[in-house]
Amino acid sequence: MEFAIDVRGLTKSFNHRKVVDDVAIQVRKGEICGFLGPNGSGKTTTIRMLCGLLEPDAGEGTCLGYDIRREARRIKLRVGYMTQRFGLYEDLSIEENLAFIARVYNMPGRKQKVTEALDRLGLVERRKQLAGALSGGWKQRLALAACLLHQPDLLLLDEPTAGVDPKARRDFWQQIHALAAKGLTVLVSTHYMDEAERCHRLAYISYGRLLATGTSEEVIRAAGLNTWEVRGPDLARVLALVNNDDGWMAVQFGNVIHVSSAARKDFPDWLRTQDLKPALWQIEPIATGLEDVFIALTQDARDNFD
């Protein structure tokens, strides 16, 4: 089985509105695939269809070799799904939560499995602590331990690092890469560009439609953007001017502006046509980044509320 996830044509509507529209995703075994897109883009709905929690209105394919329509129960037994919000019992301890999950899966040797999970995620010293008293980073560790307890072949992680500190995020990604190196497949949704760059492949969805797939280098190359960095005084003036022209895209990053275009080749020349002197600013061409690409993709996408 080359692909852990191999689906096409996935479509789902709620209240006559398509929230997922003809999405196709392939993820090879042992890969980490970053699933990106703005809020409301359909990421969570897609993940739930992949693991059998939602039945698609249209589409077909397999997850871990099982048909997503006919064999959803089998998929659920082999998948670990970490939801956006902490979903364990806050009035139970770490150890009690894991013991409960072990009973749900009817695992043999449950006590030993829980002990191993506590040790693997560095939770031994906190095993008696109530889940509700944990910080965001420790809740994240507990949720990951619960996902891994039944030794799944695929992890579906829905914005797992939202609201946790940078160190917890870094530790989390080290764990994910270590798991992938042992053959575990991971589909992870995220808003963070630094996390997207840690993934082997990417899939970008906006307003329910899949807009880009591939490695980060392939996605950037396919966008075909020319990008410049602008520094200097009165950046708001440049930003307003550029954003009034559909041929350019401008985004402020702290004290600089990134200006991009797929069709136009020379931003300083364009500034001169606007009766502005490029010499007032430091302008230099730069390599297009993932964030530039994803902002451009989102701006060009059609809202599925229309």
pTM for the full predicted model: 0.89
Give pLDDT, residue 220. Answer: 95
Residues of the chain with CATH 3.40.50.300: 3-220
C-alpha to C-alpha distance for 185 and 30, rounded to whole angstroms: 4
| Overall fold of domain 3-220 | Rossmann fold (3.40.50)
Give pLDDT, residue 35. Answer: 96
Give pLDDT, residue 197. Answer: 92
Give pLDDT, residue 272. Answer: 85
Tell me the mean pLDDT per 10 residues along the chain, length 306.
Answer: 92 93 96 92 94 94 95 94 90 95 91 92 93 90 92 94 84 92 94 90 94 95 95 89 89 92 91 81 93 86 59
For domain 226-287, which CATH number applies: 3.40.190, 1.10.3470, 3.40.50, 3.30.70? 3.30.70
Give pLDDT, residue 303. Answer: 64
Residues of the chain with CATH 3.30.70: 226-287
